[in-house]
A and B are shown apart, each in its own frame.
Chain A
Amino acid sequence: MDKKKTVNINMKEYGMVLALIAVFLIFAAMTGGKNMSPANINNLIMQNSYIVILAVGMLLCVLTGNIDLGVGSIVAVCGAAVGIMIVDYKASMWVAILAALAIGTLSGMFVGFFVSKLSIPPFIVTLATMLMGRGLTYTLLKAQTKGPLPTDYTYIGAGFLPTVKIPFGKGTLDIVSIGVALAAFALIIFSEIRSIRTKKKYGFPVTPLWQSVLKVGVILVIVWFFFYKLSRYNGIPFVLVIMGALVALYHFITSKTVAGRQIYALGGNAKAAKLSGINTGKVFFWVYTNMGILCAIAGIVLSARNASATPKAGDQFEMDAIASCYIGGAATTGGVGTIIGAVVGAFIMGILNNGMSLYGWSTDIQKIVKGAVLLGAVTIDLLSKRKK
C-alpha cells in the first residue's frame, strides 16, 4: 500500500518531464535529428531564456490565483530604457542596466500598490499596465528600433562563458562545459543521497531505491545531453548562467522559505492565511514587485540578444509565461504549482516552437498547435485529479 503510493506520486511529479522528452523525441524523428544539433540546442536555450525568466516570476502570481498581463509590455519598456540610455545619452551599460531594473521594480510596485492597498483585481491592474507599457514604449522609441547596442552589452544575451576547446571528432569539445556538467552530476547525486539520509534519520518514508536511481539517472542523462551538445558548439551561453541562477533561487524561495510558504497559503485559502498571521497585502505587493524585477531582467536579456530595443519587443510574452505555468501543473485557482514545473512548461513550449519552425510550419500553424497543447495539458491534469 505504502510502496504503491510512492510510485504514483513520482509519476505525477515527473509526468511533465516525460512529456518534455517525448515532445523532443517526436520532433527529432520528424526533423531527422535536426533539433538535436549542438547549434539548435544552443538556440533553444537562448530563445527561451526570457520566457523561462518570466515564467519563474509568473508562477508566483499564478500561485496567488492571479496572473500578470503586463509582463510583455514591461519587458519592452525596460528594453527601450536601455536602448535610449546607451544610444541617445551615451550612458554606460551599467547605468543603463540599473535604470532598467529600477523601472521594472517601480512598475511592479505600481501594480503591487493597486492590488494590495486598493484591492483592485490584478487582472484589471495588469491589463492596464499592458496597455500603458506598450503605449509608453512606442512613445519613447517613437515607434522605431533603437540600436545597435555595444558588444559589451550584447554579451548578456548572446555571449558565451570562456571556453577551452580541444579537437574532438569532426569538431571541437569545450572542456569547461564538460567540467560544469560533471560538477552538476556530483551536486545532484550528493543532494539526493543527503535527502535520503535525512529522511531515514527521522524515520520518514523513503522512495524505493530503484526509483531514486531511475530518477537521478534520467536527470543526469538530460543534463549530460545538454552540456555535451553545448560543449560541441560554443560552450555555455551567459544567459544559461542567469537562467540557472534565477531558477535555483526561486526554487529555493518557493520550497524552503517562509515567504514561499506564505504565497502558497495565500493561494490555497486567503482568508485562512490571513487568520494565520500572514499579511496577505504584503505578499501580493512583493509578488508583483518581484514580477517587475524579473521583467526588467528579461527585457535586458532580450534587448541584448537582439542588440537593439524595438517597440514590438516582448509582444505576448505574458501569454507564453502564463501558459508555461499552467502546462507545468499550476492550478488556475492558486496554491498549486512549482518553479521546476513552470520551467519544464516553458521548455515544452520552446521545443514545440523550435521543432515546428525546423519542420517548416508557419508561425500561424504554430499558434494553433500551442493553443491545443495548452488546452490538452490542463485538461489531462484536471481530469486526472478529478478521478482521484
Chain B
Amino acid sequence: MSEHILEMNHITKEFYGVKALDDVNIKVKRGEIHALCGENGAGKSTLMNVLSGVYPYGTYSGDIVYNGNVNQFHSIKQSEAKGIVIIHQELALSPYLSVAENVFLGNEQTTVKGVVDWTKTNKRAQEMLEKVGLENENLNVPVSSLGVGKQQLIEIARAMAKQVELLILDEPTAALNDEESRRLLDIMLDLKKHGITCIIISHKLNEVSYVADSITVIRDGKTIETLVKGKDEISEDRIIKGMVGRELTNRFPERNCEIGSNIFEVENWNVYHPDDPNRKMIRDVSFHVRSGEVVGFAGLMGAGRTELAMSLFGRSYGQKITGTIKINGKQVLIRNVRDAINNKLAYVSEDRKSYGLILIDSVRGNMTLAALRNFFSKRGIVNGNAENLSAEDFRKKINVKANSINQTVSSLSGGNQQKVVLAKWMMTQPDVLILDEPTRGIDIGAKYEIYCVINDLAKAGKAIIVISSELQEIIGICDRIYVINEGHISGELSSEEVSQEKIMKCIMADNGKDE
C-alpha cells in the first residue's frame, strides 16, 4: 500500500462559471492528522464535499485516488462504504432520539432486514462511546439533553460505527469552549494511534498547530502550500501568512481611546431558569462598563454569559428577574426588547442565523429591522428612501461584501452576515452594545474588520461588552475582563494583569469553592 491514503489531483470545481476550486492538489498520509486551513470561502468545505461525494463525480474535474485506486463517488453513501466519513459543522443528530439510536442513525443494527436489534445496538453503541471517551454516558437519554461538546463526540462515535478509515471534521470545535475543544483534539490524537486518518478544517490555528502533522493551506480555491510538522515551521503566524498571503503583524488592532464615566451599571442581578422557577441561573451579578471601554465576559460554555446578556436585554431569558440597571446614571426599567432598544441598549446574538438574521430577507431589510420604528418611519409608515440610503451607507462603512443592499443575506458569507447584524444594531444608535461571540465561525480577515468596528464604536464613546469563548480574542480586544462561572462573576481582571492561565485559575478556584 502506498504511503498516502488519499491523493486529490488537479481538482477543479465551478459554480456557474465561478471557480470555487482551481487545480487543487492535496496528499494525505496514512494515519496522520492533516489540517486544511484557509479563510472562509477559500474552498475548504467545497473540497471536502467533492471528496465525500456531496458533489457527485462528473460535476468536478480531477482525480480522487483513495487507497491507491481512482474513485468516482456519486453519493455520500458510496464514499462512506469506502470508509470516508465527513462530520459537518452543523451537527446532524436527531435531537429527540437516544444516544444509542443516534450512533447508528442510518446504519441501524438489524436482525432481519429492517428490524432493529436493540441488544446489539446498545452493546455496540457502548463500544463506540468508549472509543471517544464517553463510556459513562447513559445510552438511552435523548442527545438533546447533552451539551454540544458531547454531541460532537457522539458524531465521532457514529463515524466509528461506520468503520471509518478517513475521518473529515469540518470546524469541529467552532461551538466548543477551550476545555471541550482540548478533549476533542485529544480524542483525535487517540484515533490516530488506532490508525485512523483525520482531515480537520479549523479556523482555530492554535488547535491546528496542536494536533496536525501536516497542514495544507488553501487560498482563493488554490493550494498554496503544505507544511509538515518537524520539517517546516508551523506556528500560527506562519499559517496565517499562507492563508492571507501576507504577514498579519497584529491580529488585534490598536485602540487608543479615552475611557470616560460609567454608562452601564448592573446591580444584584438575579435570574431563574425559564422552565424551572427554583433554579437560579444568574446569581447576584453586579458590574459596570464605562464609555469608550470594551469589557469582556470570559467563561466556559454554559457559564451563563449568554443567559445574563439576554436577561438584561429586555428580559429575553429567564423569569423572576430582580436587580437594577442604570444607563447613563439613571435607573431604567427594561421589561421587553422594545424598552431595551429605546434605552439605547443593543444585543448582538451569538447565533446569527437563528437569532440575528432573517435569512430570506435582504441586507437592507435586516439592517433596518430593529431601528425601523424609531428611525425610519413616521406614524407607522416606513420611509423607504431613508432606509435605502442608510443601509447603503452602512454597507460601505463597514465593508459588507454584497452585490447590493437587495441581496438576500443567506447568500453572504459568515463574516459578512455578522457585519449585517452589527450594522442592524448600530442603526439603533445604542450607547451600550453587548456582542455575544461576535467572531464565531468567521475568518481572520473578517475578524480583524469586526475588531476595527468595535474599536470605532468605543472611540465614539459607546460602552461595549464582548462575550467570547476564545480567550485570546477576549484578552486581545478588552480593556477589562469579568470572569463568569456558574452564573456569577468569579473575578475581574484588568488588561495589564490578564492571561489565559489567570482566567482559567479564576474559574477553577471558583469551582473548588462550591464543592
* A and B part of one assembly: yes
Which residues of the partner chain A approach B360 to less than 8 Å between Cβ atoms? 268, 331, 335-336
Residues B301-343 near A (CB distance < 8 A): 313-314, 316, 336-338, 340-341
Pick the contact of B369: A205, A257, A265, A331 (CB < 8 A): A265
A210 within 8 A of B: no
In the complex with contacts A202-B388, A204-B388, A261-B369, A272-B357 CB distance below 8 A: yes
A271 within 8 A of B: yes
Contact with B along A332-375 (1 / 0, CB 8 A): 00011000000000000000000000000000000000000000
Which residues of the partner chain B approach A275 to less than 8 Å between Cβ atoms? 313, 316, 337, 347, 349, 355-356
Chain A nearest CB, measured from B115 CB (Å):
35
Which residues of the partner chain B approach A265 to less than 8 Å between Cβ atoms? 358, 361, 365, 369
Q: What is the interface of chain B mostly: helix, strand, loop, or mixed?
A: mixed
B404 within 8 A of A: yes
A113 within 8 A of B: no
Q: How far is the CA of A155 from the CA of B107 in the complex (A)?
A: 68
Instruction: Establish whether residues B373 and A258, one from each chain, have CB atoms under 8 Å apart when the complex forms.
Output: yes
Which residues of the partner chain A approach B380 to less than 8 Å between Cβ atoms? 257-259
Instruction: Establish whether residues A276 and B361, one from each chain, have CB atoms under 8 Å apart when the complex forms.
Output: no
A316 within 8 A of B: no
Which residues of the partner chain B approach A271 to less than 8 Å between Cβ atoms? 354-355
Instruction: Establish whether residues A269 and B385, one from each chain, have CB atoms under 8 Å apart when the complex forms.
Output: no
Instruction: Establish whether residues A264 and B361, one from each chain, have CB atoms under 8 Å apart when the complex forms.
Output: yes
Which residues of the partner chain A approach B336 to less than 8 Å between Cβ atoms? 277, 279
In the complex with contacts A258-B382, A272-B354, A335-B358, A277-B340 CB distance below 8 A: yes
B34 within 8 A of A: no
Which residues of the partner chain B approach A278 to less than 8 Å between Cβ atoms? 337, 369
A273 within 8 A of B: yes
Instruction: Establish whether residues A269 and B357, one from each chain, have CB atoms under 8 Å apart when the complex forms.
Output: yes
Contact with B along A237-279 (1 / 0, CB 8 A): 0000000000000000000111111001100110111111111
Contact with A along B105-146 (1 / 0, CB 8 A): 000000000000000000000000000000000000000000
In the complex with contacts A256-B384, A268-B358, A269-B354, A276-B370 CB distance below 8 A: yes
Chain A nearest CB, measured from B368 CB (Å):
9
Chain B nearest CB, measured from A341 CB (Å):
15
Q: What is the interface of chain A mostly: helix, strand, loop, or mixed?
A: helix
Smallest CB-CB separation from A276: which chain B residue? B370
Smallest CB-CB separation from A204: which chain B residue? B388
Chain B nearest CB, measured from A372 CB (Å):
28
Smallest CB-CB separation from B368: which chain A residue? A261
B240 within 8 A of A: no
A198 within 8 A of B: yes
Q: How far is the CA of A204 from the CA of B384 in the complex (A)?
A: 12
Which residues of the partner chain A approach B356 to less than 8 Å between Cβ atoms? 272, 275
Instruction: Establish whether residues B372 and A258, one from each chain, have CB atoms under 8 Å apart when the complex forms.
Output: yes
Pick the contact of B385: A202, A259, A276 (CB < 8 A): A202
Instruction: Establish whether residues A256 and B382, one from each chain, have CB atoms under 8 Å apart when the complex forms.
Output: yes
Chain B nearest CB, measured from A206 CB (Å):
13
Which residues of the partner chain A approach B338 to less than 8 Å between Cβ atoms? 277, 279
Residues A316-336 near B (CB distance < 8 A): 331, 335-336
Instruction: Establish whether residues B381 and A257, one from each chain, have CB atoms under 8 Å apart when the complex forms.
Output: yes
Residues A283-331 near B (CB distance < 8 A): 331
Contact with B along A158-169 (1 / 0, CB 8 A): 000000000000
Contact with A along B366-397 (1 / 0, CB 8 A): 00011011000100111011001100000000
- Interchain residue pairs with CB less than 8 A apart (18): A205-B404, A257-B382, A258-B372, A261-B369, A261-B372, A265-B365, A268-B358, A269-B358, A272-B354, A272-B356, A272-B357, A275-B313, A275-B337, A275-B347, A275-B355, A277-B336, A279-B338, A335-B361
Residues of A whose CB lies within 8 Å of any CB of B are 5, 198, 202, 204-205, 256-261, 264-265, 268-269, 271-279, 331, 335-336
- 10 closest residue pairs by CB, A with B: A268-B358, A277-B337, A276-B370, A269-B358, A277-B338, A277-B341, A276-B369, A258-B377, A258-B380, A257-B380
Instruction: Contacts A256-B384, A275-B355 known; list 20 others, CB within 8 Å.
Output: A198-B385, A204-B388, A258-B372, A258-B382, A264-B358, A264-B361, A264-B365, A268-B358, A269-B358, A272-B357, A273-B358, A274-B337, A275-B356, A276-B337, A276-B369, A276-B370, A277-B336, A277-B338, A277-B370, A279-B336
